[in-house]
Amino acid sequence: MRFFSALVLTLFMIFMLSTAAFAGGGGPPKNFQKGVFLEVDRAAGTALFQASGSDTPEVLMLGKEVDVENISLEHKVMVTLEEKEGKTYAKKVETMFLDLSMSKFITLMVVGLVGGMLSGFIGSGGAFVLTPAMMSLGVPGAIAVASNMCHKFPKALVGTYKRFKYGQVDIKLGLTMALSAIVGVQIGVTVQKAILNAWGNAGSNLYVSVVFVVVLVVVGGYVFRDAIRLSKNDADDTASPLALKLQQLNIPPMMNFKTAGVRISAWVTLPLGLATGMLAATIAVGGFIGVPGMIYVVGASAMVASATELLIAFVMGAWGSLQWGLDGLIDIRLTLLILSTSLIGVQLGALGTTYVKDYAIKLVMASVMLIVAISRGAKIPGYLGDLELITPLEPFTASVLNFISFWALVAALGTAGIIITTVMVRGMMQARREERAALAEEA
């Protein structure tokens, strides 16, 4: 019976993974082309476009949304295409590689440092602010996502290595979660596409935002309450009642996770990984689900869960980078600029965990989740307006909401940076005091 269940599960995973591989689940959009414009005919609203890898230039119709005056003939561009009445229209034209000024250099490095610290400490984070930050600097959306993804896996690799050395990573749990999450991403993308087809872009945006806000508020609120309760008693973590109940379920194959100190059925861990992947495909921040999932459903400590999440981020980041890289969307300059500081930040965050109790990790995670929820919540009225469910927003209101949305993300990162630094410094000072006291005792 045990063998049979294990076989069924393995076959299921192989099948789903191969489907995901062929369908390119969670990968980049396909309706674009990279290349250069050779000539623009403003009067006719057309342009001669030479796509990368093609020998013959083609004539593109320029859509209404395209700013013809600003089309450059020197820079490589990314053109989003749309088929209308048998003709190919350029819907959007974006410069692929932005010129990096000193202020952009510094912005990316600062965000990288704090994002890295957050990652090292709670297992994920940084991406939620890095992608919008890059886009606000003028990087096309797809390039921002791809370059960010390619920065995620080396950072997670270094973080995993450090936290593994501290004895906090459960490799088996991480790999189980990561593989099932990749499958989950595929399912999530299918759902997402169905929604896009049914309700269009605004509907899809609204759906994503509502799921995002609801999930982050509910899960973040729960984690926050738990963190406060533990901090009041200055207590260490204990497994949640739900996790304890699930651990009693004796449905083979049972899985033993040594570092997490948990024995639990694969029928719990695999669906959890699937759900994490599905949500990651929808709201793009898998760690905010994966870490609480490992804590409250599997029963791992916040320390082990956040460390194991780094391994998951490595696997998923490498997988994602491969897919986005196959379409040639990674701007390695952006990736490396962020890495220059985030590889240091992630190690700082990782060593910080050795000085704190579990609730500090939960507190940081919950604070970030709740502030990020505000950021996304501020976008909902705009999407409701686009769908004409409410009166469309005044331009002023829309710009205020956009301002709130962006700066809430920055605030989330700032708050995380401050909390992590504070708890870490406090922990280090206490450790020094203890060390000195021990030495005095010895003498």
Partner 1 sequence: MAQTTATKKKPYLQTILFGALSLASYILLFVNEEWVTETYTMGGYYVVYPIVTAFWFSLIHGAFGSNLLSTLGLEAKMTKKK
Encoded amino acid at 20, one letter: A
Q: Does 73 bind partner 1 (CB under 8 A)?
A: no
Q: Does 355 bind partner 1 (CB under 8 A)?
A: yes
- Shortest spacing between CB 201 and partner 1, in angstroms: 25
CB nearer to partner 1: give 97 or 406.
Answer: 97
Q: Look up residue 391 and give its DSSP letter.
A: P
Q: Does 332 bind partner 1 (CB under 8 A)?
A: yes
Torsion, CA 397, CA 403, CA 406, CA 412, rounded to 10 = -100
Q: Which positions from 237 through 256 interact with partner 1, judged by CB under 8 A?
A: none
Residues recorded for the chain: 443
The binder of partner 1 chosen from 344, 374, 404, 410 (CB under 8 A): 344
Q: Does 71 bind partner 1 (CB under 8 A)?
A: no
Please give the size of the binding site for partner 1, defined by CB under 8 A: 48
Q: Give the whole-angstrom CA distance, residue 46 versus residue 323.
A: 32
The binder of partner 1 chosen from 4, 15, 166, 403 (CB under 8 A): 166
CB of 216 closer than 8 Å to CB of 368 = no
Encoded amino acid at 424, one letter: M
The window from 174-182, 199-207, 315-323, 411-419 that contacts partner 1 (CB under 8 A) reads 315-323
DSSP assignment of 205-217, as one string? Answer: HHHHHHHHHHHHH
The binder of partner 1 chosen from 88, 171, 217, 333 (CB under 8 A): 333
CB nearer to partner 1: give 8 or 438.
Answer: 438
Q: Give the whole-angstrom CA distance, residue 217 versus residue 364.
A: 14
Buried residues in 400-435 as b, exposed as e (16+ CB within 10 A): ebeebbbebbbbbbeebbebbeebbeebeeeeeeee
Q: Does 55 bind partner 1 (CB under 8 A)?
A: no
The binder of partner 1 chosen from 157, 173, 189, 285 (CB under 8 A): 157
Sign of CA dihedral 365, 371, 377, 382: negative
CB nearer to partner 1: give 158 or 378.
Answer: 158
User: 257: which strand partners?
Assistant: 262
CB nearer to partner 1: give 186 or 347.
Answer: 347
The binder of partner 1 chosen from 59, 236, 435, 437 (CB under 8 A): 435
Q: Which helix (DSSP H) or strand (DSSP E) does residue 286 occupy?
A: none
The window from 9-17, 273-281, 351-359, 404-412 that contacts partner 1 (CB under 8 A) reads 351-359
Q: Give the whole-angstrom CA distance, residue 14 versus residue 180.
A: 10
Q: Give the whole-angstrom CA distance, residue 122 versus residue 129.
A: 15
Residue 253, preceding bond cis, omega within 30 degrees? yes
Q: Which positions from 188 through 207 interact with partner 1, judged by CB under 8 A?
A: none
Q: Does 164 bind partner 1 (CB under 8 A)?
A: no
Q: Which positions lie near partner 1, rule CB under 8 A?
A: 34, 52-53, 76, 96-97, 150-151, 153-155, 157-158, 161-162, 165-167, 318, 321-322, 325-333, 335-336, 339-340, 343-344, 347-348, 350-351, 354-355, 427-428, 431, 435, 439, 442
